[in-house]
Structure 1
């Protein structure tokens, strides 16, 4: 009698544990509509454009263009002020000859 009880308990435990190992049903893949395809394509193009622009901005920041532009402006204004001073002196002496 005890053997029958032990076997019944083991079979019951095996049955309960086997139930937890069941594979879940695989849902059918939903068909993707035309609007979903179009919106996914637009989103991928948008993301690609944003990533490309961000990459370009990082490259530009790496080139230190702001510092180069400031240096170019400073050098140009220095040179132009010198030549403007020379031209001013030439015109002054041209019109007011002593």
Structure 2
């Protein structure tokens, strides 16, 4: 019986000691108006940057740069051909040899 009483007292003392070592909860610091506005702006900025990055990645997947370059090259080729033909026609209009 003495051992049971000693063990019970020891457990109670240890439980009280353990409770006294608990860390008190720290109350969350309330944010001021400026801090909450800055946090909101930062959130929307990050969200817009992420959205824009997603759009850029989608555009890169479409390979629009390559298609635009090919279109430009084909257009330059066609225009230079027709410009050469037009140049020859103008030249022959002004410098044609009269066969008479």
Scaled by the length of structure 2, the TM-score of the pair is: 0.77
Partner of 2:66: 67
User: Post-superposition shift, 1:24?
Assistant: 5.5
Which runs of no fewer than 5 residues in structure 1 stay unpaired?
Answer: none
Aligned length: 96
Partner of 2:27: 28
**Cα RMSD, aligned residues only:** 2.3
Partner of 1:83: 82
Scaled by the length of structure 1, the TM-score of the pair is: 0.79
What is the alpha-carbon distance in structure 1 between the residues aligned to residue 75 and residue 48 of structure 2? 36
Partner of 2:42: 43
Which runs of no fewer than 5 residues in structure 2 stay unpaired?
Answer: none
What is the alpha-carbon distance in structure 2 between the residues aligned to residue 63 and residue 18 of structure 1? 68
User: Post-superposition shift, 1:12?
Assistant: 1.4
What is the alpha-carbon distance in structure 2 between the residues aligned to residue 20 and residue 49 of structure 1? 49
User: Post-superposition shift, 1:90?
Assistant: 0.3
